[in-house]
Structure 1
Amino acid sequence: MAVTKLERALVEQWRDVLALHARTTCELDRALDRFGIGASDFEVLDVLAEAAAHGAGPAYRVQELSSRVHLSQSALSRLIARLEKDGLVARGMCSEDRRGVRVELTEEGRSRHAEAQPVQRAVLDRMLRGEAAQGACTGPDPAR
């Protein structure tokens, strides 16, 4: 089956999106390492902070969080357990549904988020404007 020029362009565009995502995630991990968190950790903290700031309540159900941060339920559960161990979030039972678990930022989580947010936003700005190098990421900055 012959691949059309349009299909090839579509596939290339998709691969460019995937590459940008991979480079951006890697750059975020490098930049956020000094705060003791990674890109996915920050994303959970950011969603929780944003919800609290916009009056959506101080806590999110894990299922709601999963749809916002694009992680599987099991990956998110492990991440939340790690954030809880680090004192950045607290888990509790849902008052409406005892089977559900709610997650909220702790004071330390709010503080860490506030410190890391300008760095995260700067990386996003740089990467999404196309100013970042096209090379592979090598992990956390060894100078830190």
Structure 2
Amino acid sequence: MAANQSERALVDEWRDVLALHARTTCELDRALHPYGLGASDFEVLDVLAEGAAEDGPGSWRVQELAGRVHLSQSALSRTVARLEKDGLVLRGMCAEDRRGVQVKLTEKGLARHAEVRPLQREVLIRMLDRSS
């Protein structure tokens, strides 16, 4: 009986995590929509901005980016293509391995990230019940 209760509690906790993720993603999508972004779009911009070097935005291989933003390779490819179409990122061949693709934040992408970052953080604070 105790094992069943423990398992039930585990499953309930997992479902609570999934529900929080879904609610937060919806809220982020709603807040970012006026800026032409969704939650996944912003997450890609955010990771690229965090990797920025002093002399400008850094670039990430698509495989590295996929691990950081928790999107499948195909979902990330679609997201990057959309961001590239909007002029927010550039895609190019990896210098070290010409089979790889690198993604780099453009100046426009950096500016959009800076503009929207406070809004995204505000949503996270509210949804994750953080006071600061």
TM over 0.5: yes
Partners of 1:99 and 1:5 lie apart in 2 by 50
Work out the number of aligned pairs and report it.
130
Partners of 2:3 and 2:123 lie apart in 1 by 36
Q: Which amino acid aligns with 2:102?
A: R
Structure 1 partner of 2:115? 115
Structure 1 partner of 2:15? 15
Q: Which amino acid aligns with 2:39?
A: A
How far did 1:54 drift?
7.6
Structure 2 partner of 1:80? 80
Q: Which amino acid aligns with 1:64?
A: E
2:82 is paired with a residue whose SS is helix
Partners of 1:53 and 1:18 lie apart in 2 by 34
RMSD over aligned Cα, in angstroms?
2.0
Structure 1 partner of 2:69? 69
How far did 1:22 drift?
0.1
Q: Which runs of 5+ in 1 are unaligned?
A: 132-144
Structure 2 partner of 1:142? none
Deviations 1:33-87 (A, max 9, x none): 11110000000000000011588x6100000000000000011001101100000
TM-score by length of 1: 0.85
Looking at secondary structure, tell me which structure has more helix per residue.
2
| Identical residues among aligned pairs (%) | 72
The residue correspondences of 1:26-37 to structure 2 (distance < 5 A) are: 26-37=26-37
2:103 is paired with a residue whose SS is strand
Partners of 1:100 and 1:53 lie apart in 2 by 21
Closer/same/farther in 2, CA of residues 112 and 51 from structure 1, 3 Å limit = same
Q: Which runs of 5+ in 2 are unaligned?
A: none
Partners of 1:23 and 1:74 lie apart in 2 by 24
Closer/same/farther in 2, CA of residues 130 and 51 from structure 1, 3 Å limit = closer
Partners of 1:122 and 1:75 lie apart in 2 by 26
Closer/same/farther in 2, CA of residues 119 and 91 from structure 1, 3 Å limit = same
1:52 is paired with a residue whose SS is coil
